[in-house]
Structure 1
């Protein structure tokens, strides 16, 4: 009897069962998770006009000037998405700086990853 049941189960999974893949897991996603996935997808689709590449010295100079005078800045990272489009710019006040990093909007950005830093007046 156990062998017949085992054979029946094996036959079912080998010939009749159709895995629904990701569809069966969608019900387990939390609303916060799905909204984060949507936002991530929007950020990846969004494309900015490429700004001219700046030297690290010019980036530091602009960042120090903006930090000292409480100006907002717009930072464009030197990264692209899978379609070679520029990601969304980051705007706000510079919170802090170090030799290798700029802190803005609760983010730590490596200076080497920044394409341009423009001061907004």
Structure 2
């Protein structure tokens, strides 16, 4: 007996309505549960991470560090004078100085205004081969 697309679809839907595979349903719910648990753990660790407040630097100190980093082609880590909704400092902006103007500097693809900088320091890249 040959089936066309429509009759095959009807046969499949009838079989699906009559036959319920609990084993497959249990397996799928366990699979989704483990993914959900992993996502919850990741979210919890991200929320527990708190960036500490670094010392406020003077303008001339910030300028010296930025100039040194630019001349020596060294990456920098910049803490901004911004807080998140929970009152914690944002993650540091890290990267190479790609350019600057009278209002700020360009770190990789992001512009940072000079008046937003709270703290700046030279940054040492961690090699993936040295991580534990």
- Listed as ranges, the matches of 1:23-42 within 5 Å are none
1:103 aligns with: 106
2:60 to 43, 48, 57: 57
Q: Identify, as 1 or 2, the structure richer in strand.
A: 1
1:89 aligned residue (66, 89, 92): 92
Q: Distance in 1 between matches of 2:50 and 2:97?
A: 23
Aligned to 2:116: 113
| RMSD (Å) for aligned C-alpha atoms | 2.1
Name the stretch that deviates more: 45-54 or 72-81. Answer: 45-54
- Are 1:80 and 2:105 an aligned pair? no
What are the ranges of 5 or more consecutive residues in structure 2 without an aligned counterpart? 1-42, 125-132
Runs of 5+ unmatched residues, structure 1: 1-40
Deviation of the 1:58 alpha carbon: 1.2
Superposition TM-score, scaled by structure 2 size: 0.55
Deviations 1:52-89 (A, max 9, x none): 01112211111111011011110000100111100011
Larger Rg: 2
Tell me the CA shift for residue 98 of structure 1. Answer: 2.0
Number of the residue aligned with 2:72: 69
Give the total of aligned pairs: 80
- Scaled by the length of structure 1, the TM-score of the pair is 0.59
- Between 1 and 2, higher relative CO (CA 8 Å, sep ≥ 6) is seen in 1
Decide which moves more: 52-61 or 72-81.
52-61
